[in-house]
Amino acid sequence: MTATIHRLNPSGRVPSLEPMMALVANDMNQVNSVILARMQSDIPLIPELAGHLIAGGGKRMRPMLMLACARMLDYTGTRQHKLAASVEFIHTATLLHDDVVDKSDLRRGRRTANLIWGNPASVLVGDFLFSRSFELMVEDGSLKALRILSNASAVIAEGEVNQLTAQRQVETGEDRYLEIIGAKTAALFAAACRIAAVVAERPESEELALDAYGRNLGIAFQLVDDAIDYASDEETMGKGVGDDFRDGKVTLPVILAHARGSAEDRAFWRDAMHGHRISDADLAHAKTLLEQTGALADTLERARHYGQRAIDALGSFGASQAKATLVEAVEFAIARAY
């Protein structure tokens, strides 16, 4: 195979996940069947609560990426269905837990499960979904797939705890922040893509290439999320505008704006991250500082950098429809901010 270099959205058109969704539609039907079957329980609250989030309009991006990677590798079996469902269960469980930790009341434009059923039920159903995900891994029978996904689960938890300890710490450095999102967000993207090469029994070099693709895409995806928390609206985001600001989450835009600001600006950011400046007027002032310091623009530029790294990681794979959808998925992740 010869390396193919792709540039991030050279056509200037609006990218979409639709080509990937169409490509893996039949496989996703099988994955959704597994998800529906495995979220059932004799305890009615479990499928009711789990279904609220699972059916809540998410794009299923992580399992779709796994399925598209398997297609790119010309895998024609069925092992990817249970493993993709396992990936989605891990993701859903972390969302249930995150909403409890963050005290969120809106997710994908709907009330969060913890707001409806309470924190204890959300945590316990999240635990149930984690357990289901491990059952599916074991049923696949691959120790390598089990190792990759179980490690990702542990890394995600470490990233969440790391973020919790950094909450309201406005002096958090950019390197530590990238370490946090590399764990809490990018690890599952990377694992989802890598296990496609495992089920296709491809060489480790291809595993690592897909790992790099998913990891860089995950970082880019999170950086864009960080930016649009300040630059979008509730209808577009599906959650409250400025939630990160009011929750004292020290994201990259805040880190950059704090580092570049005057003494007065830095005092504002310290007060804001400690919960003393959370009004609409304070949020508007924060947005002004982010614009003035170039923090939002530079956060998005970093996202583009990681997006390009994700695309470059696919360079050793030959041209195919599946590869084209994987490239466009990166373009879509970046374009959400524009």
Q: What is the pLDDT of residues 24-81, one digit of tens each?
A: 999 999 999 999 999 999 999 999 999 888 877 678 999 999 999 999 999 999 999 9
* Contacting residues for 243 by C-beta, under 8 A, at least 6 apart: 102, 104, 229, 249
d(CA 252, CA 177): 7
C-alpha dihedral sign at 123, 129, 131, 133: negative
Q: Where are the beta strands (DSSP E) in the chain?
A: 106-107, 110-111
Q: What is the pLDDT of residues 59-72, one digit of tens each?
A: 899 999 999 999 99
The tens-digit pLDDT sequence of the chain (338 residues) is: 333 445 566 556 789 999 999 999 999 999 999 999 999 999 999 999 998 888 776 789 999 999 999 999 999 999 999 999 999 999 999 999 988 988 888 876 788 899 999 999 999 999 999 999 999 999 999 999 999 999 999 999 999 999 888 888 899 999 999 999 999 999 999 999 999 999 999 999 999 999 999 999 999 999 999 999 898 665 554 456 788 898 888 999 999 999 999 999 999 999 999 989 989 999 999 999 999 999 999 999 999 999 999 999 999 999 999 999 999 999 999 998 76
